[in-house]
Structure 1
Amino acid sequence: MDKVSVKNALVQKMESLQLSGNKVAPLIGISSANVSNILNDKWDIVGDQIWRKVMVYCGMASKWQPAKTANLAKIYALCQDAQSNHVALAFSFAPGSGKSFALKHYTATTKEVAYVECDEYWTKKIFLQKIGSSLGVTVEGTVHEMVETVVEVLNRKRNPLLIIDEADKLKDPALNMFKTLFNRTQERCGFILCGAPYFKIRIEKGVSRNKQAYQEIYSRLGGEFIPLTPVSSNDVGAVCKANDVSNPEHISAIIGASKGDLRQVARMIHKLKKDENYNANE
């Protein structure tokens, strides 16, 4: 475990979200004393379980290494565009194309980025609570009070980006909160909305049927869903090499069996590495 890197990641996260040790501790699930010990290099009294919790909070828990696939490069560019120019952008594409991985990696490596991964059961309140958690604040009260808290935090930041992943899972009342947040933070905050292929179909169908709020949502997204690209053999090869699989036969087998699904690529690489006789170069 590289404790220097973990400490540096924690410092960056705290600076990005403007959090004190007392405020970040409950978000990690550890005591403020443990946070203080990590920041002051008193590492001999910090247990491994505490370090692991910090790594999870900072997005460092996985040993999986990123590779510069076509979609990772494009998603990074879209995130930078949305964050720098305070616009809202959307894309939807097939599962296994690396969308969520790229968004999480951007969040972990860039200041003032908040990320939420949506679920089907989320109400308006749960959605706002999750956004608050990603911003490092407690959001409670009525929906109006919760919106005011989130808006205040976003508008206070210099260059914020809010990433709403798996947005297709949100029911209409929660999804409509995007419109409210966009309106209240216009020209101060960027947004990325991402989902499976159905997300694009749902929004465009809602627009064509003049369904309430859908035209307004689509307009705020620039009236388009930005296309990604199918995972290529070069992408799979890059992922393999970034994760210590360099044998051409192994790479060729993974390319053939994964069928352009990066989740399957990851499973195959993990399975290959489980072999006690595995050598990356043989």
Structure 2
Amino acid sequence: MQKIVTTKNFNSIFQQCDRARTYKKLIAITGNEGTGKTIALQQYERDNENTFKIHCLKTMKAKELLTAILFSLGESFTGSPYQMTFKIAEILNSKEKPLLMFDEISTLGVSHLIYIKDIWDMVENNCGIVLCGQHYFITNLEKAVSKFKVGMPEFLSRISSFTELDEITNQEIEYICKENGIEDCNKYFNLPNFRVLSNIIKNLKEE
């Protein structure tokens, strides 16, 4: 097992999740691959009650996204997209300070984002939502707005803030290596991201 290390990005994601929950905001967090998004969201979900993480997939259809949200809420419910959206909002509004987190939000299309907008409109007085994905999520969203895609100007206007994550530093590489029992850290300096470093640590631990 690798030891989870609280990097600058890890702390930033935790802070933004706390902010979304406390102040009932819809916020976006973006960063390149391997900047620590998923592992931070997973840990935040484990550490906090009424926190629900959805892993988005490009192969998801819009209704399958709603099913995944309901599953994360511990609910098995089928119906029309409207009924499912309403059920999601009903569950979230029944909880104290809930937080809904979407990992890999950048894989979703406009048809999916419309449902997230509709959910937000029904829960914004009780719930926070975090959208986490690649940098191009914002670029694609702005393109959809410029093309007057239905609902996208409204969706963009509802995002209260955007946080960009940093690239991995050699100082962080050294810290992570030592925390995982690896002393010879210099050879791993200038790695492109945390994911590459994680794979190296896994391989070393298998030896």
| Class of the TM-score when normalised by the shorter of the 2 chains | over 0.9
The structure in which a higher percent of residues are helix is 1
Contact 2:51 2:101 (8 Å CA) reproduced: yes
CA apart distance, 1:240: 1.6
Instruction: Kindly indicate whether the alpha-carbon contact (under 8 Å) linking 2:55 and 2:104 is maintained by their aligned counterparts in 1.
Output: yes
Selected match of 2:188 from 249, 254, 266: 254
The 5 A counterparts of 1:180-191 are: 180-191=118-129
Q: TM-score, normalised by structure 2?
A: 0.95
Q: 1:104 aligned to 2:38? A: no
Do the aligned residues in 2 keep the contact of 1:160 with 1:190 (CA within 8 Å)?
A: yes
Q: 2:133 aligns with which of 179, 184, 195?
A: 195
Aligned length: 207
Contact 1:83–1:160, Cα closer than 8 Å, also in 2: yes
Aligned 8 A contact 1:91 1:200 in 2: no
Please give the secondary structure, in 1, of the residue aligned with 2:137: helix
Supply the AA of the counterpart residue of 2:31: F
**Larger RCO of the pair (alpha carbons < 8 Å, separation 6+):** 2
1:124 shift after superposition: 2.2
Secondary structure, aligned partner of 2:164 = coil
Q: Deviations over 1:34-77 (max 9, x none)?
A: xxxxxxxxxxxxxxxxxxxxxxxxxxxxx222111110010000
Q: Rg larger in 1 or in 2?
A: 1
Q: CA deviation at 1:189?
A: 0.4
Root-mean-square deviation (CA, aligned residues, Å) is: 1.3
- State the identity %: 28
Please say if 1:87 is aligned against 2:19: no
Deviation track 1:125-177 (CA, whole Å, cap 9, x = no partner) reads 21111011111111211112111211111000011000011111112111211
Amino acid in structure 2 at the alignment position of 1:119: L
Higher strand share: 2
TM-superposed CA distance for 1:244, in Å, is 2.3
1:167 to 85, 88, 105: 105
Q: Does 1:72 align with 2:10?
A: yes
Instruction: Call closer, same or farther: CA 1:119–1:109 in 2, change over 3 Å.
Output: same
Structure 2 partner of 1:120: 58
Which consecutive unaligned segments of at least 5 residues does structure 2 have?
none
Specify the alignment match of 1:42 in structure 2.
none
* Structure 1: tracts of 5 or more residues without a match: 1-62, 276-282
Is residue 2:96 matched to residue 1:158? yes
The Cα offsets for residues 6-60 of structure 1, whole Å up to 9 and x where unpaired, read as xxxxxxxxxxxxxxxxxxxxxxxxxxxxxxxxxxxxxxxxxxxxxxxxxxxxxxx
Are 2:160 and 1:228 aligned?
Answer: no
